[in-house]
Structure 1
């Protein structure tokens, strides 16, 4: 009888379903812990964040002063080159920060910390990637907010609340896509030297092959084609439109390309598609590395 009672207790549904594991909650907990680790590193070495804010503000001041006497109409409807430049600086700062997203992961690989995480009893190893993405996107949004404030102080103006929300969405989509690519490279390339080389080779060419510093009409034909294929242009032009127009809508045309007009909503769809394609493209590599 005693044996039967013990067997019933062991096989009781109440005992077998007691305290079921919360898979989603564990992933959230792991992601928050790893994200907190990255912010602690930033707190201990704030120079990278300070440099990421000081440099674009210097761009606003110096380039704005350099072209302040440019002829009217050279840069479109704006009468202030600082107002024209603000959108480009916001987007390029977010792009540059997201492009560096893979460096902390690469250093964790080289110092062996990533191996410790991979053998740890994590609910999902993708929390490593989620934490890096959250950290970089948060940093990009913070930098964008500082640049928007600095541009307003320098006379570029300030979009309304809806416009600021649209800027945050654009920065988020661009940073998400570029962060995904950078993290994929961090797991694919052999070391940080190769990753830094890719960053240096990619950074400035994409800046000059976009509408960050000059409008499409100012460029030669071949460069206009490249700029209209550059995802940075699809982030810059909607933000620039927000600075120039207090009343805006998703159907408003923000860029004229050789194949047609791009609306505000169309530019957002391009950025969304870019982020989705980037996330899907790195999935095989991440699954192979994190397996």
Structure 2
């Protein structure tokens, strides 16, 4: 049973990996916006480090974990587009009459997205180093930054697939996802420390999954990492990802009952 599940998961993952491997340029094309933000914000706000209370003297080093998380967030928003296309083309209906494990329809796409997030995060890190970012923290902090972004991206991707199965329209799915994710991004500490934000934004940050991922990565990058903050926020992101995957699976079962 487990072997069949793993085989089906690999098959569905490889189905989504093949287009990415055939056109690797799409890996970069899908992250144009985060690259522009990295270059733009790192120059536009570089003087904010002079504000008393700012936690570092390098804004680009401060910004990078937020940009990595934002990249995973926005790529995850559009994950459901492929699901809508499969629905409209009857692909999922054909798979439903096959012996493939149903949950692998979702897991395959999410695993492919996780691989994409890792590659894109490494590209962003290399680019940031090229334009002046310096990191004094441990090297494994890089992996923690990427892990936090991947978990958030998987969570948002799962929600996107769930909304795709419910709405069955790309426009509706994207609108709903952006309505949720845009406020979460700007209410996080991705661009500015929480200590410099209004009090009500700090309160929102305690319940903001985007902020959890940013704090996980940013604290892991520091020389004297606050591991309590890393573990606590990392655990929150992990639980959030699990819940989102379960909700997406439930949406798939609801779709299956409707056909």
Work out whether the TM-score is over 0.5.
yes
Q: Pick from 123, 131, 137 the counterpart of residue 108 of structure 2.
A: 131
Cα distance in structure 1, aligned partners of 2:134 and 2:32: 20
When the two chains are superposed, the root-mean-square deviation of aligned CA atoms in Å is: 2.1
Q: Does 1:147 align with 2:120?
A: no
Aligned-pair distance for 1:44?
Answer: 4.6
- Kindly indicate whether residue 236 of structure 2 is the aligned counterpart of residue 270 of structure 1: yes
- Matches of 2:39 and 2:67, distance apart in 1: 11
Offset of residue 102 of structure 1: 1.4
State the secondary structure of the residue aligned to 2:227. Answer: coil
Give the TM-score normalised by structure 1.
0.80
Using the size of structure 2 for normalisation, the TM-score is 0.89
| Distance in 1, Cα, partners of 2:24 & 2:180 | 25
2:79 matches 1:101: yes
Q: Deviations over 1:5-43 (max 9, x none)?
A: xxxxxxxxxxxxxxxxxx322332222222222122224
Structure 2 residue ranges without an equivalent (≥5): none
Gaps of 5+ in 1: 1-22, 252-262
1:271 CA drift (Å):
1.1
1:290 shift after superposition: 3.8
Give the CA deviation at 1:74.
5.1
| 2:146 aligned partner | 168
Equivalent position to 1:197, from 166, 175, 179: 175
Kindly tell me the number of residue pairs found equivalent between the two proteins. 256
Post-superposition offset of 1:223: 2.3
* Structure of higher CA gyration radius: 1
Counterpart among 245, 249, 252 of residue 286 in structure 1: 252
Structure 1, residues 133-171: CA drift from partner, whole Å, max 9, x if none?
111111111111111111222222244332122123212
How far 1:100 sits from its partner (Å)? 1.7
Q: What residue number does 1:236 align with?
A: 214
The alignment status of 1:225 with 2:191, answered yes or no, reads: no
Work out the CA distance in 2 between the residues paired with 1:239 and 1:270.
Answer: 13
